[in-house]
Amino acid sequence: MRVVIGGGSGFVGRELTRLLKSKGHEITFISRQPGPGKITWADVESRGLPPCEGAVNLAGENIMNPLRWWNESYKKDLVSSRVNTTRILAQAIAASPTPPHSWVLVTGVACYKPSLQTQYTEESEWTPFDFLSRLVKEWEAAGQLPENSAKKTRRVIIRPGAVLGRDGGAMKQMLIPFWLGLGGTLGSGRQPFPWIHVSDLAGIIAHALEPKEEPSTEPDVFNGVAPALNTNFEFTKELGKTLKRPTIFPVPGFFLDVFLGSERAVILTQGQKVVPKKTLESGFEFQYPDLTSALKEIVGH
C-alpha cells in the first residue's frame, strides 16, 4: 500500500513507519516543512492528496509539552493543530478522484468522563464535559466525509490511552524521577490508568488500514488501550519493580494543578476504565496486553 501519514515524525509516527515499511508499504509524510519523502499541509490543500491507498492523521501539538504553560494560546494551538490538519485531510480525501480505501484518525480517550465505576467500550455514548472532551468531539467531527465518499473510504477512529514506549510519549517524562527513586503515585492513585504500548498502537493503526469489503457511512471506532484495567497505583508499583526503585513519594493533586494547569492535570489525576472491546472483536492481537510485559520491553535490561 501507499500510505500518507500526517504528523508522521512524532513518537507514534516513527513506530508506525517502521511497522508499515517492514510490511513493504510506501510512506509519504505530510508535515509543516518540505523534505525528502514529505509533502506539506499547504501542498495537500492546494494540490490535493497524492495517490494512496491509506491515509492516517497523527498530527497535533503535544498536550503534555513541559515547555509550554497552560494558557489560551497553547489551548488554541492544541485545537488548531488537530482540527485543521484533520479537516485538510478529510477534504482532500473527499475531493480525490481515486480516494484511499482507508482513512484513520487517532484521537484519545479524553472523550470519556473520568469515573472509578463506569466502564467504557467503543459503543459507550458520551457528551463533552470539559476542554479536552470538547477537543475530541471537534477533532473527530473534522474527519467526517460526505456520504458519497464514505461509501468508498473506510473511516476509522482510534482512541488511545497513555502511549508507553522507549523513546517518547508518557514514559520519557516519568523515567527521570523514577530512576532517582522519587517516583510515586499521582493524586490518590486509585484513578484508572488506560495505557497502550506504542507497538500495539502502531499495530492497531496498521490493522485499521486494511481494506473493508463494504465501508459503512459511520466510522469504525477502536479503543487503543491494553485489555488490562490498571490503576495509577498499580502502574507506579509495577514501574518501580521493573526499575528496582522505590516508589514512596506520592505527588499531590494540587501540585500537578499548579505546574500543569488544572485542565491538563486531570489527565494524570483522574482516569477512565476503557475496554478495547471492538479492537479485540476485530481480530487484533496485543503483543503487550499487560503492564509486566510492556514495561519489561520498555525499561527492562
Residue 235 domain-assigned? no
User: Mind listing the pLDDT tens digit for each residue in 71-107?
Assistant: 999 999 999 999 999 999 999 999 999 999 999 999 9
Give the confidence band of 172 by pLDDT, cuts at 50, 70, 90: confident
pLDDT score, position 167: 85
Residue 18 domain-assigned? yes
Residue 36 domain-assigned? yes
Residue 293 domain-assigned? no
Q: What range defines the domain where residue 84 resides?
A: 2-163+195-227+273-288
pLDDT score, position 279: 98
Taking the CA of residue 224 as centre, how many other CA atoms within 13 Å lie in the half-sphere pointing to its CB? 31
CA distance 59 to 62: 9
Instruction: Confirm if 211 and 154 have CB atoms less than 8 A apart.
Output: yes
pLDDT score, position 236: 97
Q: Which CATH number belongs to the domain containing residue 135 in this structure?
A: 3.40.50.720
Q: Cell numbers for 174, please give them.
A: 516519568
pLDDT score, position 36: 92
3-state SS, one letter per residue, for the chain: CEEEEECCCCHHHHHHHHHHHHCCCEEEEEECCCECCEEEHHHHHHHCCCCCCEEEECCCCCCCCCCCCCCHHHHHHHHHHHHHHHHHHHHHHHHCCCCCCEEEEECCHHHCCCCCCCEECCCCCCCCCCHHHHHHHHHHHHCCCCHHHHCCCEEEEEEECEEEECCEHHHHHHHHHHHCCCCCCECCCCCECCEEEHHHHHHHHHHHCCCCCCCCCCCEEEEECCCCCCEHHHHHHHHHHHHCCCCCCCECHHHHHHHHCHHHHHHHHCCCEECCHHHHHCCCCCCCCCHHHHHHHHHCC
Give the number of other Cβ atoms within 10 Å of residue 156's Cβ.
26
- Tell me the pTM: 0.97
Residue 280 domain-assigned? yes
Give the confidence band of 168 by pLDDT, cuts at 50, 70, 90: confident
Residue 129 domain-assigned? yes
Please give the tally of structural domains in the chain. Answer: 1
Instruction: Single out the residue of 72, 28, 26 nearest to residue 49, CA to CA.
Output: 28
pLDDT score, position 301: 61
Residue 283 domain-assigned? yes
Please, what is the average pLDDT of the chain?
95
pLDDT score, position 82: 98
Instruction: Single out the residue of 95, 101, 106, 208 nearest to residue 151, CA to CA.
Output: 101
User: Mind listing the pLDDT tens digit for each residue in 23-60?
Assistant: 999 999 999 999 999 999 999 999 999 999 999 999 99
Q: Cell numbers for 52, please give them.
A: 494512496
Residue 116 domain-assigned? yes
Kindly tell me if the per-residue pLDDT of 156 is higher than 90. yes
Q: Name 118's Cβ contacts closer than 8 Å, sequence gap at least 6.
A: 112, 124, 272, 273
115 by Cβ neighbours in 10 Å (0-12 / 13-18 / 19+) ranks as middle
